[in-house]
Amino acid sequence: MSNRILISVLCFAAIAVAAAQPGSATPKQLPKLPEFAQCELVRLELPDRVEAEIDLVVRFADMDRALLVRPYTMRSDDFRLLVQGADGKLVDHPAPAPRTFRGTARDYPDSLVAGNLIDGRLNAQIRIGSDTTYWIQPLIDFDPTADPKMHVVYQGCDVRKTENYRCGADDIDQPDHRAWLKQLANFEANIQLTGDMICDVAIDADFEFYGRNGNSVPNTVNDIELVMNNVETIYENTVDISYEVTTIIVRTGEPDPYTSTNSSTLLGEFRSHWNTNLPFVRRDIAHLFTGKDIDSNIIGIAYLSTICASTSQGSGYGVSESRYTTNMTSRTCLTAHELGHNWSASHCNGDADCYIMCSGLGGCAGNCTTFGTRSRNSITTFRNSRTCLTVEPAPIPLPFFDSFPTSSFDANKWVYVQGPTIATASDFREPWRVRLDNSFTPNNALRNDDLRTHFILMGGAPSNTEASFLAQSQGCEPGDALIVDYWANNLRWVNIATIEPWTTGDSVRRYRFTFPTAGRHNEFRLRFGVNVNETNDIWYIDNVRVGPPMPGDITNDGCIDDTDLSILLDQFGMTGDRLLGDINQNGVVDDTDLATVLAGFGQGCP
């Protein structure tokens, strides 16, 4: 059951207000907040993190707003966190648990909520309709001595422009765009998408940015992911683009590769280092979060029209001086702006609706949480020309089933395939089955082959909804296990089974599992992996199904028919471990199993 937390308002719109500190009889003068034309101050009693779906009731601007949020991550399936110390070497580092979330404002069907929750401190972007955005930030972001439970609530339009900060993209020689313009002529500008286009982004955090996040790797990662979560909501909402973060590099020691505070030189250092040393990092674009104080009031810079550029010779790079302010609206808009250049959006100064792409952040039309018409057109036209992007498949409704009918994986069902192949089968599973072995060994592998489904819509599914599949071991010794996990609603893989090989031959066995509440949500996934150590240690799986229980479906093909009855009759009276016909797994194929098949005969069949 979702927890409901009431957030009460203690003080309102004044820039300087007084509030009693907990346990104190004397009021404390809260700091002036020149960043805002107006704002509200609220005290939030919140859990440490969003572990599962949770309801927050937020009262501000004379309205109650119920926010339904759930854990969310932008990390790709092969996400890596690399840390560089003083020796200059990049080392794989355990990633902190994602602290980001997404959700909606109840009673506002066209709303979107994004943010993070860390130790009870809430950052949230609340988009209601196309032109209203509220933001919530911890007051401690603006006053380190403030009560950690105090938060600032404001609208995006209330953010004041406090300095003449600007983007440096107009100060540099941009890449030659003639090649992509010629390519663009071969694409239709009005391509109809079935889902968002996914752009893979790799991120670098320099030593100074690490320092501005308390010299903490988890803080640095959390900060980057918060900004990118907010950026992604803008891109999804306006130009149908989603991002997956494939790699984050955190530089924890000097010297790091970046020395200049000149914006164009810094961007060039970033490009040169990654092209030379990191072409292997999977990406469509790379972005540097710098903590340096860039010269000449420039806070960001990027190359124009460089999504999908070569990772060894291209210019797919941008830079954000993200911590130039503590205001999350401005920080979000800065990175959205620089990525906009990579997507071929130029500065739009002079346009009536020049929002994000104004060369002076927030200095044109005043709303930097959306793109203007010209910017949208430039981005979507360029997006439609990019061949490195993938279209996000729609989530899969129940029941999910795959018998692997061809020699290729269905990319709409299996979005992560690292190592597994589809091999021939000669029995009732013919013609194909999945083979998993130790042929895939990436640098950061925790297992050998790795196979993962796309999202399966398990939200609201009955508690007896089950995942089932056929499995077979070949040449495996004790310890050579088939590992089956599911993606829980707290953004963690949870082991549901570690299946050891059997010693009674290489017979096919059927496995069935139900899931706790944490598994029954709309981003449910299955993962199959193996833990083997020799090339002849092989596991096969087939007929993977997620849906209502069908105990009599011995072949697990979604249809209880003559094949199931024939297998049961062939094994009738036999005893042994996990015989296919022993449906209730009591060690013998008997009348009870036969009755189960007969009771369900014809279920699921065409």
How far apart are the C-alpha atoms of 122 and 26, rounded to whole Å?
26
Q: Does a structural domain hold residue 272?
A: yes
CATH number at residue 509: 2.60.120.260
Q: Does a structural domain hold residue 345?
A: yes
Q: Does a structural domain hold residue 231?
A: yes
What's the pLDDT score for residue 222?
98
* Same domain, residue pair 317 and 350: yes
* Same domain, residue pair 527 and 475: yes
* Same domain, residue pair 451 and 528: yes
How far apart are the C-alpha atoms of 457 and 115, rounded to whole Å?
23
In a 13 Å sphere around the CA of 99, the CA atoms on its Cβ side amount to 24
Compute the mean pLDDT over every residue in the chain, rounded to the nearest whole number.
87
Number of neighbouring beta carbons within 10 Å of residue 359: 18
148 pLDDT band (50/70/90 cuts)?
very high
Inter-CA distances, 201 with 85, 120, 285, 286, 424, Å: 23, 29, 5, 6, 37
List the Cα angle 455/456/462 in 5-degree steps: 145
Counting the structural domains of the chain, the total is: 3
* Same domain, residue pair 306 and 291: yes
pLDDT tops 90 at residue 533: no
* Same domain, residue pair 544 and 579: no
Range of the domain at 598: 550-605
- Give bridge partners of residue 513 from the DSSP assignment: 467
CATH number at residue 591: 1.10.1330.10
CATH number at residue 308: 3.40.390.10
Q: What is the pLDDT of residues 375-428, one digit of tens each?
A: 999 999 999 999 999 888 899 999 999 999 999 999 999 999 988 999 987 766
Q: Does a structural domain hold residue 20?
A: no
Q: Does a structural domain hold residue 21?
A: no
Q: What is the pLDDT of residues 269-303, one digit of tens each?
A: 999 999 999 999 999 999 999 999 999 999 999 99
Domain end call among 330, 364, 391: 391
Peptide bond into 255 cis (omega under 30): yes
Burial class (CB in 10 A: 0-12, 13-18, 19+), 548: middle
* Same domain, residue pair 555 and 519: no
What is 399-416 written as a DSSP string?
A: SEEE---SSS--TTTEEE
* Same domain, residue pair 383 and 409: no
Q: What is the pLDDT of residues 349-372, one digit of tens each?
A: 989 999 999 998 866 877 788 999
| pTM of the complete model | 0.85
Q: Does a structural domain hold residue 190?
A: no
* Same domain, residue pair 303 and 202: yes
Six-digit token string for 175: 């890449």
Q: Does a structural domain hold residue 252?
A: yes
pLDDT tops 60 at residue 5: no
How far apart are the C-alpha atoms of 487 and 90, rounded to whole Å?
29
Domain end call among 391, 422, 452: 391
Q: What is the pLDDT of residues 542-601, one digit of tens each?
A: 999 999 999 999 999 999 999 999 999 999 999 988 889 999 999 999 999 999 999 999
How far apart are the C-alpha atoms of 595 and 551, rounded to whole Å?
11
pLDDT tops 60 at residue 17: no
* Same domain, residue pair 522 and 510: yes
* Residue found by looking up tokens 């990049």 in the block: 90
* Same domain, residue pair 543 and 418: yes
* Same domain, residue pair 469 and 558: no
Q: Does a structural domain hold residue 448?
A: yes
* Same domain, residue pair 344 and 437: no
List the Cα angle 564/570/571 in 5-degree steps: 95
Domain end call among 507, 534, 549: 549
